[in-house]
Structure 1
Amino acid sequence: MYRFLLTPRWIAASAVGVAAIVVCLMLGSWQLGRFEDRVDSHRDTARASAAAAASAAAPLTDVLTADRPQVGTDTVGRAVTVTGSYDGAHQFLVPGRTVDGKQGYYVLTPLRTTDGRAAAVVRGWAPGEPGSGQAPPAAPTGEVTVVGRLQAPENSGSGGAVAGGLPAGQLGTISPATLINVLPYQVYDGWIAADSVTPPLAQVPTVEPQGGNGLTLRAFQNLGYTLEWFVFAGFVVFMWFRLVRREAEATQDRALGLDPVQ
């Protein structure tokens, strides 16, 4: 009944089917490998962040050096120290920030260092909208040493970031790109969440960089593509068996002198 499989037409069709299955399995395996690579990268980043958070406080200039001036995934949450004087004349409020499920704002005061640059220090968080409650406490005067956790610069797509058009004295995002437009001096990359805060301000938790708190959407896209390619391979097998069955039934009908069912 199945001798038709040895005909050139069916040999060629079977070869094409096998090739299609192999290609689908190879592409599915490749996408699965990409997903596993992203999982491993995520785990490495999480381990690096945990190690940075557990390490002893280091001078900011030892963490952000001339060779590595930007905050990376391995330095987010790193405990740092920086010494300088607060520039209270250029203090900013950063609205639209959530802490413990409550909306509020950050109080950012630049800390000018002896090298002429400044570190953007968030001295704490207050609930509500800027100006709606008790005014934030004034920044300490004179030389101080701040101990805090290094945070990554925000971007316009960061969670909680507020669009432009804010009143004077407020910022939508915390990044060198925005600070350079409102400060008369250069700033270090990222910002520092101070560990010691003055009531009624509350301490700001470490903010994970975008995509740093879990697997990215691209990783799950790779997993979805993996499933699709394996489904395609299964569909080719299903269609091959279905066509073989129909051809076998047609062959049997012809042998009995019946019109094959189309």
Structure 2
Amino acid sequence: MYRFLLTTPRWWAINVFVLLAIPFCIFMGSWQLGRFEDRVESHRTAEEKVSEDQREAARPLAELLPVDKETSGEQATATGRYGKQLLVPDRELDGKRGYYVLTMLRADNGKALPVVRGWLPGDADTAKAPAAPSGEVTVTGALQASESPGSDGVIAAGGLPAGQTGAISAASLVNLVPYDVYDAWVTLAEADAGMTAVPAKAPQGTGLDLKAFQNLGYTGEWFVFGGFVVFMWFRLLRREVEFAQDAELGLAEEPTSEPAEPADETRDEPKASASPTA
């Protein structure tokens, strides 16, 4: 009954496709799952590194620049005088909406380091933001890479009120402050003037971002497609077997080699009437 699986060209093609498709789907699904697991491990490692960096001794800012995945989150120190102050709205902390208080720390070389002095709840209000200490200060905090507009918690759109910025980056601040800005920023380990300290973030590309969940979604799609191939193969096999059984019992109509002739139709033709003789 099942000899047709190996004797008909149609089923040869179906079997070859199934034998190639199933391993390919399993391989691609396993590969996407491995990518997701790698991102999870990278996220866990980055989180552990942030915690370890908080316990390490701070180093001068110049030794940690430029910021990369190795130096991001490490404790840095910088000395200078506070200058222009900006607010960074729509930032969440512990599930509450608020804003960062960002102040430029001008170093002796004339460049400014963005320093997040703390977080306050509510809408961004310049009147509520504490003024920065005067005179020369030395700050210590976690070094962070410049933010990218559209990333986690970063406002991509412009049009913010004066004295506010959506992203903490040299590219965003270059038109808001009258001096050069470091391509990095620092969040203080201990916030100033009653504000809440902003914890350091893991470097970009190491978290459970959209790409990680895309890998997980692709994993499910490949495994589902592999299962669908198996399901369709069994469905086609069942239909073929049922047809063969019906043919043996005489229930299936055998295809005819010649088309059936149409039924004869009689036409009533009018008889020619004899023309009258003169």
The TM-score normalised by the length of structure 2 is 0.77
Structure-2 change in CA distance of 1:124 and 1:225 (3 Å): closer
| Distance in 2, Cα, partners of 1:132 & 1:59 | 31
User: Is the aligned partner of 1:167 residue 2:168?
Assistant: no
Corresponding position of 1:227: 220
Corresponding position of 2:188: 194
Corresponding position of 1:236: 229
Corresponding position of 2:258: none
User: Number of paired residues?
Assistant: 252
Q: Tell me by how many angstroms 1:209 deviates.
A: 5.2
The answer on whether the counterparts of 1:84 and 1:144 sit within 8 Å (CA) in structure 2 is: yes
| Distance in 1, Cα, partners of 2:60 & 2:46 | 22
Structure-2 change in CA distance of 1:260 and 1:236 (3 Å): farther
User: Is the aligned partner of 1:114 residue 2:108?
Assistant: yes
Of 238, 241, 245, the residue aligned with 1:248 is 241
DSSP-derived class of the 1:5 partner: helix
Q: Tell me by how many angstroms 1:208 deviates.
A: 4.5
Q: What residue identity is the alignment partner of 1:4?
A: F
| Distance in 1, Cα, partners of 2:63 & 2:112 | 15
The answer on whether the counterparts of 1:49 and 1:75 sit within 8 Å (CA) in structure 2 is: no
Deviations 1:148-196 (A, max 9, x none): 1222322322415384333333323221012211223222222112234
| Distance in 2, Cα, partners of 1:33 & 1:250 | 44
| Distance in 1, Cα, partners of 2:32 & 2:129 | 54
The answer on whether the counterparts of 2:190 and 2:197 sit within 8 Å (CA) in structure 1 is: yes
Quick check: which has more Rg, 1 or 2? 2
The TM-score normalised by the length of structure 1 is 0.81
Of 146, 149, 152, the residue aligned with 2:142 is 149
Q: Tell me by how many angstroms 1:23 deviates.
A: 2.6
The answer on whether the counterparts of 1:49 and 1:74 sit within 8 Å (CA) in structure 2 is: no
Q: Tell me by how many angstroms 1:229 deviates.
A: 1.9
| Distance in 2, Cα, partners of 1:36 & 1:119 | 36
The answer on whether the counterparts of 1:111 and 1:120 sit within 8 Å (CA) in structure 2 is: yes
| Distance in 1, Cα, partners of 2:97 & 2:28 | 46
The answer on whether the counterparts of 2:147 and 2:154 sit within 8 Å (CA) in structure 1 is: no
Larger mean Cα displacement after TM superposition, 146-155 or 34-43: 34-43
| Distance in 1, Cα, partners of 2:110 & 2:29 | 54
Q: Tell me by how many angstroms 1:15 deviates.
A: 2.1
Deviations 1:217-251 (A, max 9, x none): 22222222222222222222222222222222222
Question: After superposition, where does 1:1-150 map in structure 2 within 5 Å?
Answer: 1-9=1-9, 10-64=11-65, 69=66, 71-87=67-83, 90-131=84-125, 134=128, 136-141=130-135, 143-150=136-143
| Distance in 2, Cα, partners of 1:205 & 1:75 | 16
DSSP-derived class of the 1:205 partner: coil
Q: What residue identity is the alignment partner of 2:50?
A: S
Structure-2 change in CA distance of 1:73 and 1:3 (3 Å): same
CA RMSD of aligned residues (A): 2.7
Q: Tell me by how many angstroms 1:26 deviates.
A: 2.8
User: What are structure 2's unaligned runs of at least 5 residues?
Assistant: 255-278
The answer on whether the counterparts of 1:52 and 1:76 sit within 8 Å (CA) in structure 2 is: no
Q: What residue identity is the alignment partner of 1:186?
A: D
The answer on whether the counterparts of 2:82 and 2:132 sit within 8 Å (CA) in structure 1 is: no
The answer on whether the counterparts of 2:50 and 2:200 sit within 8 Å (CA) in structure 1 is: no
Structure-2 change in CA distance of 1:248 and 1:50 (3 Å): same
Structure-2 change in CA distance of 1:135 and 1:31 (3 Å): closer
Question: After superposition, where does 1:211-222 map in structure 2 within 5 Å?
Answer: 212=206, 214-222=207-215
